[in-house]
Structure 1
Amino acid sequence: MSDTPHTPLDNPPDTPPTSPADSTLELRSTVAGDGSVTLAVHRADVAAPAPDEVVVRVEAAPINPSDLGMLFAGADMASATGVASPSDESLPAVRAMIPTGTAGLEGRLDTAMPTGNEGGGTVVATGDSDDARALAGKVVGFLSGNAYAEYRTIKVSSCLAMNDGTDPEDAAACFVNPLTALGMVETMLDEGHRGLLHTVGASNLGLMLNRICLADGVPLVNIVRRAEHVELLRGEGAEHVVDSSAESFVSDLTDALRATGATIAFDAIGGGDLASVILSRMEKVASEGDQFSRYGSSTHKQVYVYGGLDRSPTILNRNFGMAWSVGGWLLTPFLMKVGPEAAERLRRRVADEITTTFASSYGMRLSLTDAVDPEQARRYARMATGDKALITPHAADA
């Protein structure tokens, strides 16, 4: 452990510091050369905070779709079995086989990688900088890449201080989904579009995006995959909800695009021909009333793929003219592009609206041990709408 001075919450500044926790249980994922991946409970030291760091008692950390790649590396979860942790046979783990092998994973072979993009908790010790001390005792959300743990030492710059009275569970999901939803609207405005489409409207992120668009007057088309999700979004005030499982999907989508003028889409599905269908329907609406051109309409149509719920190839049937683009969209590059001032503006909106606009819901709560139970792992790896998992590292202490 580091000898860097820090200020625990229960000691006055002139008292020799003692770490609030010498060790932590955490989740680590290891890909082996035989094509297996093991997610295990490990025990590790808690680093004392540097001047610009704090120690957070992690109360909650969500499992987002973006976490699954690090957790299981594309493994077939039907093959999941319970094993002992490679670092300590008294601790549990789950192992599964990666059907595509280890191609593209060479950089993480035989390395126990930390997991968990974000979390929430209470600051229990601080470094000696003013910014760190200002967080003493505060509930914070944080972005770290290693959130699935009992305690974490975090840079102050990676923390978002929540307003007084905020529950750590609410703070746990204050980065990935809220800032992604806000980033979608910012991207739409920056690129000159006047309405947008989202392909997983009933997800936690989708519900946040719907609330943002209602509050900000942004036309939004929500695509869902089940009839009950249509009703869910209608109940949340959404006007344009399209069920991709309905026989009338294509015509319903066309009508919604006509009503909203949406020409930019954010797609969490990725695989299959959904992006192609969206572009073709945008082109249909854009070309209505125009004189025929073999190059299609001049209206630019954009689809950003930001997820991979379907890992099959993305299929494009070129029936949408020439004014189009398909690309990837990620939160971190977006935040770097808009700069620190705009990013801070978005962060503060999240903190102010964390229990309203940016409220999250969960279908299961898991201890660290639960998270490596094969049955539970198979369940949360499905990423079913309404069944999102929240890891609560101190659940066993309650």
Structure 2
Amino acid sequence: MRAVVLKEDGYSPDALPASQVRAVDRYLELAEVAVPEPGPDQVLIKVTAAMVNPSDLAFIQGGYGQPRVKGAPAGFEGVGEVVATKGLYAKTMKGNRVSFAVSLNGSGAWAEYAVTDAMSAISLRKDVRDEDGAALIVNPLTAAAMVEMVPKAGAFVVSGAASQLGKLMAGLASDNGKRMIALVRRDGPAEALKALGASHVLNETSESFAADLKAVLKAEKPTVFLDCIAGSVSSRVFAAMGKDSTWVIYGKMTPEPPEILEPGQLIFMRKKIEGFWLVSWMKNSSLMEKMSAIKQVQARFAEGKWKTDIKARVKLEDLVAELPKELDKTDGKVMITIS
């Protein structure tokens, strides 16, 4: 089968933030590899489409939470049809169209076929588009899990809010009576985010940002900061938040390191810093929690409350050459099509 595979092993100390990755031919190449075989409780999926996420761009460089394996297909999530299975539960999925995330002992989604644990595949409703099925896990389940961290009727701050994940959280928060303070780096996305449900949109590059932030924090009193940037602005936002606030870091989109500007706040104001990784959430959450989140995510896509914005469609065989120019475009995901 054809697959876009990794050219290097393990981790690398030289990995760039995902937002700075462009040329990928150092890390990836198109190759012919054997079709993987499902192991116990696994499914083999004929892949229809796959997504390119920031986590993929970190991983291919060796800057993610799991090591690369040279020659293995890349790609964390996609959509396709289950064509072979092993195990009783896996057998129930044969012939189903599924959204899937690649398990640690599986094979990557940027290929004609992929293997993953049956528990990492989700049988899709007929009214969920392939575009949404290919991006149903990484961002949507992260959105559902993190918005759940916000107290009922509470407010929260989101960095990088113009991203696909930020858009998903805006609508979900609004529908659940929670107020989202969206941080962006340009004015363009502001109206769209407000239309989706964001209560406030602040431009970090504006001269009035510090004053605007102070006023909004005073009025809304958010206690959760969901941060995918983890840079100097993030440090200032957290320092400006009130007591009992939590800074949740789930990404790193800038090379500059964050700082603890006011260490005393961690002691006397009971503020804290923690990380979020969907892999850990999936492992540690109860079956009921996961089923509830999956049901909610599928319903939102099927009902049109959510949609995956696609900025480019790239054929699998053209991915290595064309991905750099597509990453320069804003407002949407790159979808890999596999025929």
TM-score class, shorter-chain normalisation, is 0.7 to 0.9
Distance 2:67 2:141 in 1: 29
Is contact 2:153-2:178 (8 Å) kept?
no
**Structure 2 equivalent of residue 158 of structure 1:** 120
Give 2:325's match in structure 1, choosing from 368, 379, 386. Answer: 379
- Give the superposition deviation at 1:354: 2.3
CA 1:365–1:45 in 2, change beyond 3 Å: closer, same or farther? same
1:64 aligned onto 2:53? yes
Q: Secondary structure at the match of 1:270?
A: coil
- Give the superposition deviation at 1:106: 12
1:141 aligned onto 2:109? no
Distance 1:186 1:32 in 2: 36
Deviation per CA, 1:119-151: give whole Å up to 9, x if none: 11122334463x334323322100106111111
1:329 aligned onto 2:271? no
CA 1:221–1:227 in 2, change beyond 3 Å: closer, same or farther? same
1:246 aligned onto 2:206? yes
**Structure 2 equivalent of residue 197 of structure 1:** 157
Deviation per CA, 1:156-175: give whole Å up to 9, x if none: 21111111243322211111
Is contact 2:179-2:198 (8 Å) kept?
no
**Structure 1 equivalent of residue 2 of structure 2:** 25
Deviation per CA, 1:1-58: give whole Å up to 9, x if none: xxxxxxxxxxxxxxxxxxxxxxx21111122799894301122222344563332221
- Give the superposition deviation at 1:348: 1.6
CA 1:378–1:55 in 2, change beyond 3 Å: closer, same or farther? same
The structure with the larger Rg is 1
CA 1:44–1:233 in 2, change beyond 3 Å: closer, same or farther? same
Is contact 2:46-2:81 (8 Å) kept?
yes
Q: Return 5+ residue gaps in structure 2 as ranges.
A: 15-24
Name the structure with the higher strand share: 1
Distance 1:358 1:142 in 2: 18
Which amino acid in structure 2 is aligned with residue 150 of structure 1?
Answer: E
Distance 2:173 2:50 in 1: 26
Q: Secondary structure at the match of 2:201?
A: strand
The more displaced of 357-366 and 192-201 is: 192-201
CA 1:313–1:136 in 2, change beyond 3 Å: closer, same or farther? same
Which amino acid in structure 2 is aligned with residue 245 of structure 1?
Answer: T
Is contact 1:140-1:171 (8 Å) kept?
yes
Distance 1:229 1:385 in 2: 10
1:174 aligned onto 2:136? yes
**Structure 2 equivalent of residue 100 of structure 1:** none
CA 1:121–1:331 in 2, change beyond 3 Å: closer, same or farther? same
Which amino acid in structure 1 is aligned with residue 262 of structure 2?
Answer: R
Which amino acid in structure 1 is aligned with residue 291 of structure 2?
Answer: E
The more displaced of 218-227 and 325-334 is: 325-334
Amino-acid identity (%): 28
Q: Secondary structure at the match of 1:207?
A: helix
Distance 1:127 1:348 in 2: 25
Give 1:229's match in structure 2, choosing from 167, 189, 195. Answer: 189
- Give the superposition deviation at 1:270: 1.5
Distance 2:111 2:229 in 1: 29
Is contact 2:49-2:338 (8 Å) kept?
yes
Give 2:29's match in structure 1, choosing from 31, 36, 40. Answer: 40
1:314 aligned onto 2:258? yes
Give 1:391's match in structure 2, choosing from 332, 336, 339. Answer: 336
Which amino acid in structure 1 is aligned with residue 220 of structure 2?
Answer: T
Q: What is the Cα-based RMSD across aligned positions, in Å?
A: 2.8
**Structure 2 equivalent of residue 300 of structure 1:** 244
Give 1:123's match in structure 2, choosing from 65, 68, 82. Answer: 82
Distance 1:113 1:260 in 2: 47
CA 1:50–1:306 in 2, change beyond 3 Å: closer, same or farther? closer
- Give the superposition deviation at 1:107: 6.0
Which amino acid in structure 2 is aligned with residue 47 of structure 1?
Answer: P
Q: Return 5+ residue gaps in structure 1 as ranges.
A: 1-23, 75-103, 284-298
Distance 2:141 2:179 in 1: 19
Distance 2:173 2:253 in 1: 24
**Structure 2 equivalent of residue 296 of structure 1:** none
Distance 1:186 1:69 in 2: 26
**Structure 2 equivalent of residue 114 of structure 1:** 73
Distance 1:335 1:122 in 2: 22
1:276 aligned onto 2:224? no
**Structure 2 equivalent of residue 18 of structure 1:** none
**Structure 2 equivalent of residue 85 of structure 1:** none
Distance 2:155 2:96 in 1: 38
Distance 1:65 1:153 in 2: 22
- Give the superposition deviation at 1:233: 1.0
The more displaced of 32-41 and 363-372 is: 32-41
CA 1:260–1:379 in 2, change beyond 3 Å: closer, same or farther? farther
The more displaced of 333-342 and 262-271 is: 333-342
CA 1:106–1:350 in 2, change beyond 3 Å: closer, same or farther? closer
